[in-house]
Structure 1
Amino acid sequence: EVAAAYHGLQLKFGPDYIIPTPFDPRLIWYIPPFVAQAAMDTGVARKPIEDMDAYRAQLAQRLDPTAAFLQKLQGSVLSGPKKRVVFAEGEEPSVIRAAYAFQTAGLGEAILVGREELVAENMRTVGLSPEGAGLKVINARVSEHNPEFANYLYERLQRQGYLMRDVQRLVNQDRNTFAACMVALGHADAMVTGVTRSYDQVLDEVLRVIDPAAGGRVMGMSVLLGKGHTLFIADTNVTEMPEAEDLVEIALEAAQAVKALGYTPRLAFMSYSTFGNPMGDRSEKVREAVAMLDEMDLDFEYEGEMPPALALEPERRGNFPFMRLTGPANVLIMPAIHSAAISTQLVQAFGGATVVGPILLGLEKSVQICPLSASVSRILQLATLAAYDHQSQGEAVL
């Protein structure tokens, strides 16, 4: 955050940099607890703070609306077994920063995929010592695992027009393929990528290596945080024009994921139509999906089709006493990918909410794809989700 505020200037503690900059986020959450502790130790404080960790978390939440959501995930990751997360684009400065932050926070072991000399050079550029950073670096071109990865990939792709030399080239030269093979064959527990390539391209590359989970739905789910509310939106990234059957699978996958994140899902199927008025092709798909859910034995609330105001504001439901939602919806199932992506980005652009994700769901292994040119904070968020994701697979397909 400091580097971004100062247009990439690398500030390091020393004779010329002793007092933190005004844009250093640690000024609000890291330093005050030490001052408060000193006040308590010297008897100056009249109201001692009993839980300093809770105080620190409260301060962080004032700075960033994502803090409470992410602290919950980080707490779970920190309390569980440490996972090995491979950062596929390990030569990128932003990825190096995120990987270093991930590992130094104790969230797991970070593995960078890249050429050792270039990774070391970019570490020095961002103010890290290659020797002291403690990050593991793997060069895909010369890795001892290449024959194992190539054989695995050839078994998957030989009937799709790939020759052995084709898959060897992919393993040697494509970092997403190499990193995904690491995860698929147990050399890493999770993967983060996407900073240098488009989401669709990265997802295709990952799916060459890793299958969808049994009964899972590959999809993207964005999390909107703002005004004291947490809202989940799906599908924001994968299925362009879902049919009714697709919407059912999206709803089931989203409900599972939301439960695994510790929330009670209340689903609302979005539409410009309000229970049949007016009707249209997209709203008809939604009606069919709701009817299909009605035939299932489900343990979560759902309703549709409806506009956002009806889903989020119970006081507007006077004309619809039959609605089954007992409170505001917290999961919005969108009728098409364009409506999901546009609405999410519009809210974020106007400052109405902070967006986490999209979270990639439905793969048998833990993979998260960052937006193109994602910030360090965004990469770190998704790395944390990847580590949490793997650890939560017993509860849901994340």
Structure 2
Amino acid sequence: MLAHGHGDGLVTGATRKSAHILDRINHVFDAGESSKAAGITALIHKGRIVFIADTLVHEWPDEEDLADIATQAAVVARNMGLEPRVAFVSFSTFGYPVSERAEKMHMAPRVLDARGVDFEYEGEMTVDVALNTQAQASYPFSRLTGPANILVVPARHSASISVKLMQEMGGATVIGPILAGVDGSIQMCSSGSTANDILNMAVLAACKVG
């Protein structure tokens, strides 16, 4: 219906697993790992909004994928009224400690350098450096002008762990994942969504935030 213009938005997922839904969506729209699609989850806590990505599409993104994810998250942030500040997060900060696992997070900002994007970004860095201005003061060369509001994480499993930990232990309100970078306005709820969660996703679909 969306592809033929008979509908403006789609909200799905409350009764199905996300992998199953993405597979069905990919029959009509390009929303797989080979595309520039990404899932961005908004965490709202103590009056602060932080986006975590990719929480839906990429299982283990490389530096090019991470740059795409950051770009899609920046679009979502701007459409929600925020000026994006992206941090590529890891267990290391600017190359220390040295680790093969953190290399792609170190390389992703260089990819964005080459692309000449119009939003702030920096990395790699630990989460406390990304979010805490006092911790950021130890790195005066950082290009971030304030706390990051977008955290691009190394893989989908780390994204899922981060979101669920903040939800269960921190009491954060979770909105998403917001499916961005797809031609149609499609939003997916989790299988445990409440009526309010579904309403939130319907509003996002109507506004085409991604």
Q: TM-score, normalised by structure 2?
A: 0.94
Which runs of 4 or more aligned residues in structure 1 lie more than 2 Å from their structure 2 counterparts after TM superposition? Answer: none
Q: Displacement of 1:244 after TM fit?
A: 0.8
Matched, 1:239 2:74: no
Distance in 2 (CA, whole Å) between partners of 1:279 and 1:357 is 33
Matching of residues 12-31 of structure 1 within 5 Å: none
Structure 1 stretch 294-303 or stretch 198-207: which is displaced more? Answer: 294-303
User: 3-state DSSP class of the match of 1:381?
Assistant: helix
Matched, 1:382 2:201: yes
Q: Displacement of 1:339 after TM fit?
A: 0.8
Distance in 1 (CA, whole Å) between partners of 2:48 and 2:184 is 30
Number of equivalenced pairs: 208
Matched, 1:268 2:87: yes
Q: Displacement of 1:277 after TM fit?
A: 0.9
Distance in 2 (CA, whole Å) between partners of 1:343 and 1:241 is 16
Matched, 1:196 2:15: yes
Residue 357 of structure 1 is aligned with which of 172, 176, 187? 176
- 1:53-105 per-position Cα deviation (integer Å, ceiling 9, x unaligned): xxxxxxxxxxxxxxxxxxxxxxxxxxxxxxxxxxxxxxxxxxxxxxxxxxxxx
Matching of residues 162-201 of structure 1 within 5 Å: 182-201=1-20
Using the aligned pairs only, state the percent identity. 47
- 1:254-282 per-position Cα deviation (integer Å, ceiling 9, x unaligned): 11121122110000000001111112223
Q: Displacement of 1:219 after TM fit?
A: 1.3
Unaligned runs of 5+ in 1: 1-181, 393-397
Distance in 1 (CA, whole Å) between partners of 2:24 and 2:8 is 18
User: 3-state DSSP class of the match of 2:2?
Assistant: helix
- 1:316-357 per-position Cα deviation (integer Å, ceiling 9, x unaligned): 123311111111110111111111110111110114311111
The residue number in structure 2 matching 1:333 is 152
Distance in 2 (CA, whole Å) between partners of 1:302 and 1:288 is 12
User: 3-state DSSP class of the match of 2:51?
Assistant: strand
Unaligned runs of 5+ in 2: none
Matching of residues 53-72 of structure 1 within 5 Å: none
Distance in 2 (CA, whole Å) between partners of 1:195 and 1:284 is 37
Distance in 1 (CA, whole Å) between partners of 2:99 and 2:72 is 26
Matched, 1:229 2:48: yes
Q: Displacement of 1:211 after TM fit?
A: 3.0
- 1:104-136 per-position Cα deviation (integer Å, ceiling 9, x unaligned): xxxxxxxxxxxxxxxxxxxxxxxxxxxxxxxxx
Distance in 2 (CA, whole Å) between partners of 1:186 and 1:317 is 47
The residue number in structure 2 matching 1:316 is 135
Distance in 2 (CA, whole Å) between partners of 1:224 and 1:195 is 19
User: 3-state DSSP class of the match of 2:15?
Assistant: coil
Over aligned residues, Cα RMSD in angstroms?
1.5
Matched, 1:368 2:187: yes
The residue number in structure 2 matching 1:91 is none
Residue 207 of structure 1 is aligned with which of 5, 26, 32? 26
Residue 117 of structure 2 is aligned with which of 284, 298, 311? 298
Rg comparison, structure with higher value: 1
Distance in 2 (CA, whole Å) between partners of 1:255 and 1:366 is 17
Distance in 2 (CA, whole Å) between partners of 1:318 and 1:189 is 46
> Partner amino acid for 1:218?
A
Q: TM-score, normalised by structure 1?
A: 0.51
Distance in 1 (CA, whole Å) between partners of 2:102 and 2:59 is 15
Greater share of residues in strand: 2
